Amino acid sequence: MTQERAATHLRSVAIAVTDYEKQVDFYENLWGLKKTESETGISYFAAEGSPEQYIIRVRKSDVNRIDLLSFGIRDPESVDSLANSLAEDGVRFASEPGSLKTPGGGYGFRFFDPDGRVVELSADVAERGFRVLEPREDIPQKLSHVVIYSEDPRSVMDFYQDKLGFKLSGWLGDFFGFLRCTPDFHSVAIVKGEPRLHHISFETRGYDEYLRAVGRVLQEGLPMAYGIGKHTPADSTFAYFIDPNGNTQEYVAPQEMIIDDAEYSPPVWGPGTPNDIWGTARSQNMPEDPTIARHTERDQGLWVAPPV
Amino acid sequence: MPLYMDVHNLLRAANPEAVAAAKQRDVEVQEKYGVKYLRYWLDPSTGHMFCLVEAPSKEAAFMVHKEAHGALANEIYEVVEG
């Protein structure tokens, strides 16, 4: 895998939900995102601290599903090169390379990963005006990572590494794999289970801002499902909440960054690895075992291209 | 031109050679953003790094790291030399 054909970063996650109005209200008025554009039945949300045009898209639907996982790629030539490579490998496309109509435009295409999730790769998407967050600001500064379930996590992990240039950051047993496409420890992780969303994670500026964000949501009356704590992989803090459509959303403080890929050896954390190394987390309505089903059902969008 | 110190808190496999290579990529893209990275200090044992940078804004300094290597600073402070 050459660098030209590798995903450069996680741009956005698009979800479709049955209760659209409540989801929009959740992201805009509780979670701390900024609604940048909306049309009938679809809204785009940016993070104040990120130049990414949008990090979340919500679409009104009669089923709950992941619409898109969207990643950056270096330039339009790399888009074409990677599209050709995937076509040669027999990967099924949802759209051919072309101009994108979503905010920021750009050039990209969509295809199905081995579980049938739709992945978008794009280049030349215009960046938005943003600002580096100040100390004590209790809102997300960027999209951190997305975690998805797969019945065969190893083969899906292999696909993202072999076809899209992701690097392995580690495994928790043989049921939870972590992948990076920037120095951040993970942008994508895959956990064993029926295909659906595990959670979407939003990074705050630091630990103080993470706690302030958690506190703000609690004060607004939404109970925390599981947290606050720190996972062993990535020294990654966690605080999980359930949104109005049953999706798990997480606040996380900045995670580890891996600088020298050649020096780094991806760990395999075995049985007995503490789920919370701080010992502060309490589970209210979420199983601590990550392989046990969360609040969403099997993804209703597998192998079906979203209409937008 | 404002002077900023950016702080990286959780670097792993941050040996001096790899960090120097990343800093060189900063130098290669900084002119586009009107930024000049001046000096940096690294504690490889705990994964902390501090970069002194002249930049028109925090956002400009941020964009250099983003484009150069993606290892974004956790914190950026405007500083004055004492």
Tell me the count of A-B CB pairs closer than 8 A: 61
> Do A257 and B75 make contact, defined as CB atoms within 8 angstroms?
no
Q: What is the pLDDT of residues B52-75, one digit of tens each?
A: 999 999 999 999 999 999 999 999
Q: CA-CA distance, A293 to A192, in Å (whole number)?
A: 10
> Do B13 and A258 make contact, defined as CB atoms within 8 angstroms?
yes
Quick one: fold of A3-123?
Answer: 2,3-Dihydroxybiphenyl 1,2-Dioxygenase; domain 1 (3.10.180)
Q: Provide, as residue numbers in chain A, all residues whose Cβ is less than 8 Å from the Cβ of B11.
A: 256-257, 259
Count of domains forming chain B: 1
Chain B nearest C-alpha distance from A11 (Å): 13
What pLDDT sits at residue A1?
Answer: 46
Pairing verdict, β A107-112 and A167-172: unpaired
Q: Provide, as residue numbers in chain B, all residues whose Cβ is less than 8 Å from the Cβ of A8.
A: 70
Quick one: average pLDDT of B6-31?
Answer: 96
**Structural domain boundaries of chain A?**
3-123, 142-283
* Displacement of CA A278 from its chain's centroid (Å): 24
Q: CA-CA distance, A172 to A174, in Å (whole number)?
A: 6
Q: What is the pLDDT of residues A213-240, one digit of tens each?
A: 999 999 999 999 999 999 999 889 999 9
End-to-end CA distance of chain B: 17
Structure tokens at A140: 């997300």
> Do A131 and B59 make contact, defined as CB atoms within 8 angstroms?
yes
What pLDDT sits at residue A4?
Answer: 63
Could you tell me the maximum CA-CA distance found in chain A, to the nearest angstrom?
53
Q: What is the pLDDT of residues A103-162, one digit of tens each?
A: 999 999 999 999 999 999 999 999 999 999 999 999 999 999 999 999 999 999 999 999
Percent of chain A with pLDDT over 90: 91
CATH of the domain at B25: 3.30.70.3090
> Do A184 and B70 make contact, defined as CB atoms within 8 angstroms?
yes
Task: State the average pLDDT for chain A.
Answer: 95
| CATH class of the domain defined by A142-283 | alpha beta
Domain that holds residue B27: 3-78
Q: Provide, as residue numbers in chain B, all residues whose Cβ is less than 8 Å from the Cβ of A259.
A: 11-15, 18-19, 22, 71
